[in-house]
Amino acid sequence: MDFRQLEYFTEVARFKSFTRAADHLHVTQPTLSKMVRSLEEELDIELFDRSKRQIVLTDAGETLLLEGEKILRQLSDLPSHLYDVMHLTKGTIRIGLPPLIGSLFFPRLLHQFSQQYPMVTIDIVEAGGHALEKAIVAGEVDLIATVFPADEHLTVYPFMEEELHLFLPEHHPLATRSSIVLEEVSKMPFVLFNETFSLHNVVLNACRAAGFEPTVTHVSSQWDFLCLLVAEENAVTLLPRSLAQRIQVNGVKTVPLETRVPWQLGVAVPTGRYQSYVTREWIQFIQNFYAKKE
User: What CATH number does residue 210 fall under?
Assistant: 3.40.190.290
Q: Of 96, 156, 95, give the one whose Cα is nearest residue 131.
A: 96
Q: Is the dihedral of CA 158, 160, 166, 170 positive or negative?
A: negative
Domain span holding position 215: 162-263
- pLDDT tens-place string over residues 125-184: 999 888 999 999 989 999 999 988 878 889 999 999 989 999 999 999 999 999 999 999
The number of distinct structural domains making up the chain is 3
Amino acid at 115: Q
- 109-125 pLDDT, tens digit per residue, is 999 999 988 888 899 99
Asked if residue 135 is part of any domain, the answer here is yes
Whether 85 is covered by a domain: the verdict is: no
Give residues with Cβ within 8 angstroms of 206, minimum separation 6: 164, 182, 238, 261
> What CA–CA distances, in Å, run from 28 to 20, 21, 88?
10, 10, 43
Same domain, 154 and 286: yes
Task: Give the β-pairing of 252-256 and 154-169.
Answer: antiparallel
Residue 177 domain flag: yes
On the 0-12 / 13-18 / 19+ scale of CB atoms within 10 A, 41 is exposed
At 73 the pLDDT is: 79
Residue 171 sits in the same domain as residue 133: no
Average pLDDT, the chain: 88
User: For residues 237 and 190, is the Cβ–Cβ distance under 8 A?
Assistant: yes
Residue 268 lies in a domain: yes
* 149 prior amide bond cis, ω within 30: yes
Are 229 and 255 found together in one domain? Answer: yes
Return all residues near 90 (Cβ < 8 A) that are at least 6 apart: 119, 120
Quick check: is 197 in a domain? yes
Q: How far is the CA of 61 from the CAs of 12, 14, 25, in angstroms? A: 11, 12, 20
| The dihedral sign for the CA sequence 196, 197, 200, 205 | positive
* 78, pLDDT greater than 90: no
In a domain, 86, yes or no: no
Strands 262-270 and 189-193, bridge-based pairing: unpaired
Report pLDDT digits (tens) over 226-266. Answer: 999 999 888 999 999 988 888 888 899 999 999 999 989 99
**Co-location of 137 and 55 in the same domain:** no
Residues 133 and 212 reside in one and the same domain: no
Residue 182 vs residues 119, 172, 199, 237, 248: alpha-carbon distances, Å: 48, 14, 16, 11, 22
Task: Enumerate the H helices of 124-235 as residue ranges.
Answer: 129-137, 198-209, 223-233
Residue 101 is assigned to a structural domain of this protein:
yes
The answer on 104 and 62 residing in a single domain is no
Asked if residue 272 and residue 130 are part of one domain, the reply reads yes
Q: Is the residue at 84 inside a domain?
A: no
- CATH number, domain with residue 274: 3.40.190.10
Q: What is the pLDDT of residues 40-56, one digit of tens each?
A: 888 888 888 887 777 88
Whether residues 259 and 139 fall in one domain: no
Task: Write down which residue in 58, 79, 100 finishes a domain.
Answer: 79
Q: Are residues 107 and 241 in the same domain?
A: no
Residue 3's SS3 state is helix
Residue 109 sits in the same domain as residue 253: no
Q: Say how far apart CA 183 and CA 54 lie, in whole Å.
A: 73
Same domain, residue pair 120 and 212: no
Predicted local distance difference test score (pLDDT) of residue 82: 65
Do 139 and 220 lie in one domain? The reply is no
Above 70 in pLDDT, residue 83?
A: no
Start-to-end CA distance of the chain, whole Å, equals 55
| Domain final position from 79, 107, 133 | 79
